Copies of this chain bind each other. A is one copy, B any other.
Amino acid sequence: MQLDKVVAYHKALADATRIKMLIMLAEGELNGQLLAEKLGVTPATITHHATKLREASLINERRDKNTIYFSLNDYFIKSNANAAEQLIYRNAGKERGMDHMEESYERLKIAVIKNFFTADGKLKHMPVQLKKKLIVLQHIVSRLTRGQRYTEKEINQFIKGFHDDFATIRREFIMHQLMFRENGIYELNPPELWTKWETLA
């Protein structure tokens, strides 16, 4: 599965120079020359590291005249941080009394969908309780297609099929890592990255 991805992500962060780059970019975007100077390496080295960070989707770039400005890809950093943990623990865990927890979660899910959606599939209102809210968000987002890339306009339109407040819901998709956004394009995250209620307490 995404073992390769997890390895690639950790390789990207397994170098002091790259971590320092990210730390600097966290304060704001910077161009290659400046990064090179601040880190005491040549621009070629920055290009090298930027390539690795880009491949791991950890940074974005923007061109202005001759200068390319690098910036953090926030959402990716946050979502990947837990990916390794998820991967490692996913197969395991069934041993301990987790099964009936999952079972009762399935029951909750059915109840929530029944209670918060109308018969024709509209969302009545967003639950306040986080656990239930996650169920609602995941229920909605599951109607999207894996690998498909959506414009913001398309996402808005899609959400409006469920509820008028598309801006809030769109934001929650990102916050809970159901989707990620890059250069205004939205894409579904793999379900392993979704914020799960089990991981919250």
Q: Which of B14, B88, B93 contacts A10 (CB 8 A)?
A: B14
Say how far A102's CB is from chain B's closest CB, in angstroms.
Answer: 17
B residues in contact with A22, CB < 8 Å: 88
Residue in contact with A7 in the complex, picked from B3, B19, B88, CB distance below 8 Å: B19
The distance in angstroms between the C-alpha atoms of A91 and B82, with both chains bound, is 22
Which of B10, B28, B175 is within 8 Å of A201, CB to CB?
Answer: B175
Check if B81 sits within 8 Å of A26, measured CB to CB: no
In the complex, the answer to whether B84 meets A82 with C-beta atoms within 8 Å is no
Main secondary structure of the interface of A (DSSP, over half): helix
A141 contacts chain B at the CB level, 8 A cutoff: no
For A53-92 the 0/1 string (1 means CB < 8 A from B) is 0000000000000000000100001100110110111011
Bound CA span A10–B77, Å: 13
Of the residues B4, B11, B13, B27, contact of A84 by C-beta under 8 Å: B13
Q: Mark A1-40, 1 if CB is under 8 A from B, else 0.
A: 0011011001101111001101100111000000000000
Shortest CB-to-CB span from A101 to chain B, Å, is 15
Task: Enumerate chain A interface residues (CB-CB to B < 8 A).
Answer: 3-4, 6-7, 10-11, 13-16, 19-20, 22-23, 26-28, 72, 77-78, 81-82, 84-85, 87-89, 91-93, 95, 130, 175, 200-201
What are 12 contact pairs spanning A and B, CB under 8 A?
A3-B19, A3-B20, A10-B11, A13-B14, A14-B14, A22-B88, A23-B92, A26-B89, A26-B93, A27-B92, A81-B81, A130-B201
